[in-house]
Amino acid sequence: MRLPQGVGLIFYFLTKAVFSKSGRYSFMSSRTVLTLGTTLGLGLTPFTAWATPHAVAQPVVANPLLRPAPAQSTASKHTPHQRITPSTHKSTQTTSLDVNARRHDFAYPEAQHEPDATTHLTAERLRARDVTTIRGLERVAPNLTIQSINGTASTNFYLRGIGFNDFTQSNMGPVLTYIDDVAYPYSTMANGQMFDLAGASVTPGPVGTEHGQSDTGGEVHIHTNTPTDTWHFGATQDIASYARSRSEAYISGPLARGLSFRLAGQTLHGGGWQTNPTNGDHLGDADLWALRGKLQWKPDSHTTILLSGHFTQDNSEVVTSVPVARLIGKQAIPHFGSWLQAQWSSRPEFAKLFGRKAGIKPSEHNQFWGADLHITHDFGPVTLTTISAFETEREGEYTDQDGTADAQADTYRTVDANSFTQEVRLNNSNTHDRLQWVVGAYYQRTRMNQRFFFDYTDYTARRYMMATTFGLNQESVSEFGHVSYRLPHGITLWTGLLHELDDRSITGLKSEIFGGATQNFHAESTASNQFAGQVGISWQMAQHALLYYKMSKGFKPGGFTANNTQIQAQLDPFKPETVLTYELGFKSDPIPNHLRINGAAFYNDFHNQQILGTVLIPNYGPLSEITNAPKSESWGFEGTIEAHPFSHLFITQNFGWQRGNFQDFPTVNRAKTNAYYAQHHVWKAINDNFAGVDNGQPKLTLNGSADWRQPIARAYALEFGPDWQYRGSQAITPGGTGFYRLPPYFLLGAHVTFRSPSGHWEATVYARNILNRRYAESGGQATTTYFYIPGEPRFIGGRVSYGF
């Protein structure tokens, strides 16, 4: 007997609903439903379900370029065997249906039981939002701002408003970057490594009691794919506006019993969108290639040894500055007919000074390479982990900071740095024990030499070229421990403690005016001996609801300002920074698989917060100097909402809000000092105390996306939707108003992705800054002008990926 078509459709959707509650339905389970419906004469139309990135059956062959490994959760409930016996079937035959896959419409369900504010990001999400550099993470995490320094590969992080602007990148930042659990003391070292990704995470607040190094602002973790026991390879080609091309490929597989490897690489070319209206020159083309190799050996079921190495060569041009105000002199700043235009200069005499060809454009000439060895052995009751790493940085960087055709603040910087780190951890092996603990130690040694060349030939107060040279030696050792205990009724208590000893010195600093005087400065050193730690309590008040509270103390060592040194006093070390953070948070899935809401509120009590302030050098002018604000505070909240209100629609919204002010911060008021000079042509320090002044960080940041995931004929899949990002105004000098603040901006993007039934290939068309909004990504001062670094215009691109 054949039932009416409407009854068949009702049966299909009822069956689908049962499967959605009991387990993850896959292509095969939908085909089984179709077969069952046909056998029963229900008149089902041909249909095959498609797998969403967070609700997908594991393919026979994984393809890391196309989708991440599905998240696993011991907390998820599912019925491994579901029997359906339709009462409408008149025969005596009974048909059973097995569904063995689990369904998670939201990624990382196990993280919902962890008492922290960490944002976990799948490789799929990073790819969908076109996160191909470290800076792109601010588009997918709350309360996070990552800014390029003068348009270069060097970056500054601000997490919950905690961060500082360090042009020399010779000091440890408040937010550390980790790649595959290796800490990078200088963020520039991570340049070019955002490829072949397995995922990422962003953790705000003081860290260091469970791994790595202590910090005050938090940490960013990048995870790359590891070798596989079966053969896989894949490739991606991405072509976008302004002739930008990005290629990525990998191959992975076994070499011998227990031995496997993975080799991955990327190249990036083109994409330059700035032009010089005076001569038609083009600027901003990328020229980067990077390679990563991994060798994994598992001699037995308890031991894993992973050796990794990477190399990056970056000869990319950089985005140059656009002046917004002249601080010194009467010459008008350039005005352009389009925000895609800019000016820059390069005198042959200056290029010859540092050994580059005449006509050099603002650009990088960088090499980064390193290797690390991970060893893990499970002894039964305990697991031992050791991580040894060596990282190098060889940087040559040219910037035209005044943003004019004159040589008023043209700069070339060379950096020769290396870092060795060693971490040892011991923890209990059974993750189901009530008592969980980890103890360990961490050692870091860095050596750095920098040289800055400056061309002030067209600046009437100087009219010379000069160079500053210095070396930096740093060594630190820390011991840490963390313990948690799970009580009845879903309550868990935990505490952690870290002790760190840091010793660093600046040596051989010389300031040389070519054709003039040379100054040699005495070496300076500073040592820190501090404790950090945390204590907290969490309550799993329901299966899908967690509440936690914790107090954390963070610590960051002191350091030096070494850029453009003129007097010995500029080398006085700034003090260590400490912060006491109070955090109250929750994680919830009020409607499992349909609605997830996570949030946290925080308060930061700073002592000696490290911040870029101002000093006035007599007969020279104001200079930036990292100094300490004796007392400051900040507070705010952040959260993430993920919603799957009905079939096909998935929405993610991150939001962050923070406020802060200085309670005691005596410094030179740069705006008033510059105004006095403009009126009287005499340098006089106008001192001020910024007590009660806002910390200048963006108060509101938002980012999110909406995806419609639509199955189409023959099990193909179509995904499309918009994404967005908002950042509030940000001061580029303490207490800054007017042009001393970066304006707020809102950016809109979109994408359309077409996937094959096998999951072996996909094609995407995407757009970033689709409204072509003009905005400033970062800003600063360069001797005679204040400048903004403009953000990217509209980019429209296409991406094709294949792998098996």
Rounded Cα distance between 789 and 321, Å, is 5
**Residue written as tokens 């923890």?**
427
Q: What is the CATH number of the domain that holds 516?
A: 2.40.170.20
CA 176 – CA 222 distance, rounded (Å): 11
Residues 393 and 415 in one domain: yes
Closest alpha carbon to 713 in 1, 2, 50: 50
d(CA 51, CA 15): 17
For the CA atoms of 79, 81, 82, 83, what is the dihedral angle to 10 degrees?
-150
CB atoms within 10 A of CB 771: 10
Q: In terms of pLDDT, which residue wins out, 350 or 171?
A: 350
Nearest to 453 by CA among 402, 405, 409, 506: 409
Contacts of 24 (CB under 8 A, 6+ apart): 55, 56, 57, 78, 99, 101, 102, 103, 104
Q: Which of 21-25, 210-214, 436-440, 617-621 has the lowest mean pLDDT?
A: 21-25
Let me know whether 248 and 309 are in one domain: yes
Number of neighbouring beta carbons within 10 Å of residue 630: 15
Contact yes or no for 82/102 (Cβ under 8 A): no
Tell me how crowded residue 645 is: count the other CB atoms within 10 A of its CB: 11
Cα(575)–Cα(596) distance, rounded to whole angstroms? Answer: 42
Question: 126 is in which domain, residue-wise?
Answer: 119-221
Q: Render pLDDT for 5-60 as a digit per residue (tens, 0 to 9).
A: 333 433 333 333 333 333 333 333 333 333 333 333 333 333 333 333 333 333 33
The CATH number covering residue 192 comes to 2.170.130.10
Q: Which of 565, 474, 464 lies closest to 511, judged by CA?
A: 565
Q: Give me 77's structure tokens.
A: 């409930």
Q: Over 50: is that where the pLDDT of 86 sits?
A: no
Q: Which two tokens stand for residue 376?
A: 């893990």
> In terms of domains, do 146 and 270 share one?
no
Would you tell me the crossing angle of helices 5-22 and 27-39 to the nearest 10 degrees? 140
Mean pLDDT over each residue of the chain, to the nearest integer: 86
List pLDDT tens digits, range 550-600: 999 999 999 998 877 778 878 889 999 999 999 999 999 999 999 999 999
pLDDT of 41 reads 36
At 369, the amino acid letter reads: W
Give rounded-to-5 percent helix, strand, coil for the chain.
Answer: 10, 55, 35
Residue 795 pLDDT grade (very low, low, confident, very high; cuts 50, 70, 90): very high
Between 461 and 542, the more confident residue is: 542
Least confident of 126-140, 144-158, 677-691: 677-691
Are the C-beta atoms of residues 470 and 509 closer than 8 Å to each other? yes
Provide the domain count of the chain.
3
For residue 158, what pLDDT band results from cuts at 50, 70 and 90? Answer: very high
Residue 736 has what DSSP assignment?
A: -
Mean per-residue pLDDT for 184-210?
A: 93
The separation between CA 5 and the C-alpha centre of its own chain, rounded to angstroms, equals 52
- CA dist 139 and 768 (Å) reads 11
Mean pLDDT for 304-316 is 98
Contacts of 433 (CB under 8 A, 6+ apart): none
Give yes or no: residues 777 and 642 share one domain.
Answer: yes
Answer yes or no: is 352 within a domain: no
One-character DSSP codes across 676-709: HHHHHSS----EEE-TT-B----SEEEEEEEEEE
Q: Tokens 């990282």 identify what position?
A: 391
Query: 337 lies in a domain?
Result: no
Last residue of a domain, one of 221, 248, 271: 221
- Which strand (E) or helix (H) includes residue 376? strand 366-378
What single-letter amino acid sits at 491?
A: I
Residue 70 lies in a domain: no
Evaluate if residue 474 carries a pLDDT over 70. yes
Residue 302 domain-assigned? Answer: yes
DSSP label at residue 114? S
| The pTM of the whole model exceeds 0.75 | yes
What sign results for the dihedral spanned by CA atoms 517, 410, 628, 155? Answer: negative
Per the domain annotation, does 353 fall within a domain? Answer: no
Average pLDDT of the segment spanning 607-630: 85
DSSP 120-162: EEEHHHHHHTT--SGGGGGGTSTTEEEEESTTSS-EEEEETTB
Most confident of 14-18, 430-434, 799-803: 799-803
pLDDT recorded at residue 478: 96
Chain-centroid distance of CA 91 in Å reads 61
Contact between residue 313 and residue 289 where contact means Cβ atoms under 8 Å apart: yes
Q: What pLDDT, on the 0 to 100 scale, is given for residue 168? A: 81
Mean pLDDT of 164-189: 89
Q: Are residues 282 and 157 in the same domain?
A: no
Please indicate, yes or no, whether residues 216 and 244 belong to a single structural domain of this protein: no
Last residue of a domain, one of 198, 221, 244: 221
Q: Is 307 helix (H, G, I), strand (E, B) or coil?
A: strand
Q: From 392, 455, 13, select the one nearest 186 (Cα to Cα).
A: 392
Say whether 675 sits in a helix, a strand or coil. helix
Together in a domain, 583 and 687 = yes
CB 246 within 8 A of CB 289: no
pLDDT of residue 80: 32
Domain shared by 197 and 226, yes or no = no
> What is the chain's Cα-based Rg?
28
Residue 14 phi/psi, 5-degree rounding, is -65, -45
Q: Does one domain contain both 136 and 180?
A: yes
Domain boundary among 34, 49, 64: 49
pLDDT recorded at residue 150: 87
Highest mean pLDDT among 59-73, 95-109, 216-230, 622-636: 216-230
The H-or-E segment that residue 502 falls in is strand 491-513
- Which tokens is 702 given? 């938002």
Rounded to 5 degrees, what are φ and ψ at 548?
A: -145, 160
Predicted confidence at residue 104, as pLDDT, reads 53
DSSP H or E stretch at residue 625: strand 621-643
Report, as an integer, the average pLDDT of 510-534.
Answer: 93
Calpha distance 493→301 (Å, rounded): 32
Distance between CA atoms of 10 and 133, rounded to whole angstroms? 47
Same domain, 161 and 231: no
Asked if residue 213 belongs to a domain, the reply is: yes
- Percent of the chain at pLDDT above 90? 70
Query: Which pair of structure tokens corresponds to residue 369?
Result: 């390479």
3-state DSSP assignment of residue 495: strand
Q: Which two tokens mark 477?
A: 């050792």
Q: Within this chain, do residues 515 and 613 fall inside the same structural domain, yes or no?
A: yes
> Residue 698: inside a domain, yes or no?
yes
Assess whether 131 and 279 both reside in one domain. Answer: no
> Is 385 inside a domain boundary?
yes
- In 3D space, the residue among 446, 430, 507, 369 whose CA is nearest the CA of residue 213 turns out to be 446
